[in-house]
Structure 1
Amino acid sequence: MEEIGYLMHGFSVALTWNHVMLMFVGVVLGILIGVLPGLGGPNGVAILLPLTFSMTPTAGIILLSCLYWGALFGGAITSILFNIPGEPWSVATTFDGYPMAQRGRAGEALTTAFSGSFVGAFFSVVLITFLAPLVAKFALQFGPPEFFAVYLLTFCSFVGMSKGSPFKTLIVMMLGFALATIGMDTITGGLRLTFGLSDLLRGVDFLIVVIGLFGIGEILLTMEEGLSFRGKSAGINLKVVLQTWVQLPRYWATLIRSFVVGAWLGVTPGGATAASFMGYGIAQRFSKEKDQFGKGSMEGVLAPETAAHASGTMALLPMLALGIPGSATAAVLLGGLMVWGLQPGPMLFTDQADFVWGLIASMYLGNIAGLIVVLSTVPLFAAILRIPFSIVAPVIILLCAIGAYAVHSAMFDVWLMVGFGVLGYVLKKLDYPLAPMILAMVLGDRAEDAFRQTMMLSHGGMSILWSNYLVGTISTLALLTLLWPIISRILPKRKAIVEVPA
């Protein structure tokens, strides 16, 4: 196959000493960016982009893409250790990663997250290598109806497959939708729910809400639980990595499902955040250990991390093949390509073969470099939990405040973070799930835009959601998922009636 020949040439381009050094530098910087809440991969790439203009395009894109891998890896670290998502797509990782850390299984949770991330990214790069033309052609079929159907499926999966009260799920989801509408209407330009506050004109940023709900809220809960200032036990033996790897093959089906979800949402593009939530929901639905989810399930860490990395990696495919960025980070990278005088699209593969295949080869190598770096530092990260809470808590609060302020450089955001911290504390005390609220806030504005564009196309007709096989299949799956609690109760009753002897 000619793709293998091109890839081998790409490895010869990427495997120079300066490019390998840039890979490790990019991964380390990316991990630091992923750990700091509020900074994020897109911001990190944007900050370092001007520094690459003096480099060759190949060296510059290798540095930035490896920074991207590092940010994907790093987002899981604070999610697992402190219940503070470093990145939006790491929110789902907190559901089981943090309980595992609280039980003294931090090393196991981190190894699971990093391993799942590596698998998701690796197989996505394989897809990019061999299926680029076909996958890019499929992505062209997605318009507003298809995008809305994907978002609807994600929302319905949380309502229909939630193990808690569906009414509580709906209540917090509606709250998330309300938060997503604050600010300027993207279609009409009108202001909504700003209450005369100029700071709300730009809306409420997702990261501020997440930092408050999970970071400050968790500290308030910990303080209430007897002001326990002792550190948690955390294994710092490197054998935990091998011991965890021995257990991972049990979840091969979860890996495959999460990868498929992530790759699909990366190309369409649905985004790594949606992929992580959907991967988690599907894993919980098909798991043989449903009761362990939310209490420290290894499967609950593996699924969202695999899906998020698969999506984040696949988002680069439409950028290279079509010039359509599949994520915010891909959009920043697209701007870098244009500054370097490169025009993304089908001709890029022929006009700039060294660049394209060098980048694809660096995806393989950068992913391996990232896994080496994060796994070698698992003992260091796990040992952090041995520090007494009385020392860690002020540091966490400071990091949360810095992260909230860094989003828009506004003190208003810091106070907003504190308010959401109190709200998170109250919701946790009343046993309301936070995940649906976060999901609705992240995807609410995108779903609204897609729905309104769909209604404009159909002049208000809902039949457009079943106008072709693709959108019809997704919409039907969404409704079945939403109604699954009712269907699952009716089916056993009908089966019992049929089996009653005449």
Structure 2
Amino acid sequence: MDDFASLMAGFQVALSWHNIGFMAVGVVLGIVVGVLPGLGGPNGVAILLPLTFGMDPTSAIILLSSIYWGALFGGAITSILFNIPGEAWSVATTFDGYPMAVQGKAAEALTAAFTASFIGALSGVILITFVAPLVASFALRFGPAEFFAVFLLTFCSFVGMGRENRAKILASLCIGFLLAAVGLDSISGDLRMTFGSIELMRGFDFLVVVIGLFGVSEILLTVEEGLVFKGKQAKIDLKVVFRTWASLPRYWATLLRSAAVGMWMGVTPGGAIAASFMGYGLAKRFSRNPGSFGKGNIEGVLAPETAAHAAGTAALLPMLALGIPGSATAAVLLGGLLVWGLQPGPLLFVEQKDFVWGLIASMYLGNLAGLIIVLATVPLFAAIMRVPFSYVAPVILIVCAIGAYTISNSTFDIWLMLGFGIIGYVFKKLDYPLAPLVLALVLGDRAEEAFRQALLGSGGSLNVFAANGLVGTLVVLAMLLLLWGPVMDLIGAARGKGRQPEKPAEVG
């Protein structure tokens, strides 16, 4: 009952006129971010985050989270109308969404995608509403050793359960730890790896790094690819919307299954990309007509969109409850909370109750507003795709530079942004994941601080990480997750060798 009362109070905060305005503006900006290539949810939030520093933290996080919801919706427009994934997790949507558009069913495909996105995101918000307070209240018993064990669990799960090459994930994590160590040591007060530079005394600012890695690198890649947009026309009317909605109950099993997959992959480091492909694969596996997938089956649109958006929303749960981001966008939002003087984690539910529940309430309202706005404005946002990218790219770069400069009013940060943009470009060309680097950059200092505090409290004994059942269980679970992926790879390789047919005997 206390949580319900807090949620109602949160709706009062979110329903104030200025917050509703920020919500609408954020959704519109997010749809633009989702539609334009070279941007996307994490990139748009990272670029616009510095512009919110003068705002009230509650209004700022509502604006930024609404940008995220809008970007989630916007990615489906390009996937269905142009066969160009607006986001990485929209790839699976193109498999059946674009064939539907070719068949003249673009409006049905878009309505199905937007509705599935809303259902998936709503399931993630419901999960946050009921589970996050329980996780936060449990985590109030954590000390430095327990928090380090949680950080270790997160890092190990990224390596062991990641979909990318594990050596590359590990390399990306190590580079993130290295960047996080630059500057002033929070325990001893010593300077580390500054090389006599005054600018590096404060370390690499998280936002400068993120704007470069995501925003600038995507621009470079998109310019290199030279995208040309040739898409299908779409106009959504109420008859199509209601007809599509009337057909959705027959797919309830696909929607529930995809939402469950998405929530699980969001809380764990599986991510929205893996969730979308898993949702699509399961829908095809359990379908009565699997041969129709890839040819314009509406289930092929519903499943990946529901799973991806459930995962994208559920990723905010560990960020709010434990201070551990479950996705790149959650990591950017975590950086924003730290800039605003808010400490994500269990104490946030105690010390900043109005803020937390106002944010959760805005998630419900933001997704509803996003569904309404995107259904009403598809032709407008589809027209944005026909603007030559040679005009769009300089504008995005200027916004990136303004965002980087605003952080500390330093031109050095602009050069850093460009440098990290090149690094991000190289990473993406070599298929190195950026999410582990961002995760290590955000949590590296905090993990090191928790580790050293735990050792200081135990007189330097590592036994502190097995001192009680909770911390011991977390450490053992971290090791199991670290080894899970390699062990499963070895088992799969052994089975593959065992199934190889024998070579036929040579004749004559």
Matched, 1:125 2:129: yes
Residue 231 of structure 1: aligned partner: 229
Q: Distance in 2 between matches of 1:467 and 1:394?
A: 56
The one-letter amino acid of 1:70's match is: S
Q: Distance in 1 between matches of 2:488 and 2:351?
A: 51
The one-letter amino acid of 1:308's match is: A
What is the CA-CA distance between 1:483 and the residue it aligns to?
0.9
The one-letter amino acid of 1:231's match is: F
Residues 76-118 of structure 1: CA deviation (Å, up to 9, x unaligned): 5798899xxxxxxxxxx95424896899879687776555433
Q: Distance in 1 between matches of 2:464 and 2:257?
A: 34
Q: Contact 1:404–1:414 (CA<8 Å) still a contact in 2?
A: yes
What is the CA-CA distance between 1:408 and the residue it aligns to?
2.2
Q: Contact 1:31–1:72 (CA<8 Å) still a contact in 2?
A: yes
Residue 185 of structure 1: aligned partner: 185
User: Aligned match of 2:89 in 80, 88, 96?
Assistant: 96
Q: Distance in 2 between matches of 1:195 and 1:241?
A: 61
Residue 146 of structure 2: aligned partner: 146
Residue 314 of structure 2: aligned partner: 307
More deviation, 400-409/24-33: 24-33
Three-state SS of the structure 2 residue aligned to 1:483 is helix
The one-letter amino acid of 2:472's match is: G
Q: Matched residue pairs, number? A: 430
Q: Distance in 1 between matches of 2:335 and 2:213?
A: 23
Residue 459 of structure 2: aligned partner: 459
Query: Map of 1:20-419 to 2, 5 A cutoff?
Result: 21-31=17-27, 37-38=45-46, 44=52, 47-49=54-56, 66-67=62-63, 69-74=65-70, 76=72, 94-97=87-90, 115-126=119-130, 137-225=137-225, 228=226, 230-231=228-229, 233=231, 236-238=234-236, 246=248, 250=254, 252-253=256-257, 255-256=259-260, 259=263, 277=269, 279-280=271-272, 283=275, 289=281, 298=305, 301-311=308-318, 365=365, 368-369=368-369, 371-373=371-373, 376-377=376-377, 380-419=380-419
Q: Distance in 1 between matches of 2:457 and 2:366?
A: 43
What is the CA-CA distance between 1:385 and the residue it aligns to?
2.4
Unmatched 5+ residue regions in structure 2? 34-43, 79-85, 99-108, 283-293, 295-302, 324-332, 343-347, 497-508
What is the CA-CA distance between 1:416 and the residue it aligns to?
1.2
Q: Contact 1:172–1:437 (CA<8 Å) still a contact in 2?
A: yes
Residues 460-497 of structure 1: CA deviation (Å, up to 9, x unaligned): 3333333333333322221111112342256579999x
Q: Distance in 1 between matches of 2:227 and 2:428?
A: 21
Q: Contact 1:158–1:281 (CA<8 Å) still a contact in 2?
A: no
The one-letter amino acid of 2:209's match is: V
Q: Distance in 1 between matches of 2:430 and 2:363?
A: 45
Change (3 A) 1:328 1:212: closer
Q: Distance in 2 between matches of 1:433 and 1:385?
A: 27
What is the CA-CA distance between 1:365 and the residue it aligns to?
4.9
Q: Normalization by structure 2: what TM-score?
A: 0.66
Change (3 A) 1:127 1:371: farther
State, as a whole percentage, how many aligned pairs show the same letter. Answer: 41
What is the CA-CA distance between 1:184 and the residue it aligns to?
1.2
Three-state SS of the structure 1 residue aligned to 2:17 is helix
Unmatched 5+ residue regions in structure 1? 51-60, 83-92, 263-274, 317-325, 336-343, 497-502
Change (3 A) 1:278 1:345: closer
Residues 369-391 of structure 1: CA deviation (Å, up to 9, x unaligned): 45544554555444432322222
Change (3 A) 1:188 1:223: same
Q: Distance in 2 between matches of 1:146 and 1:22?
A: 40
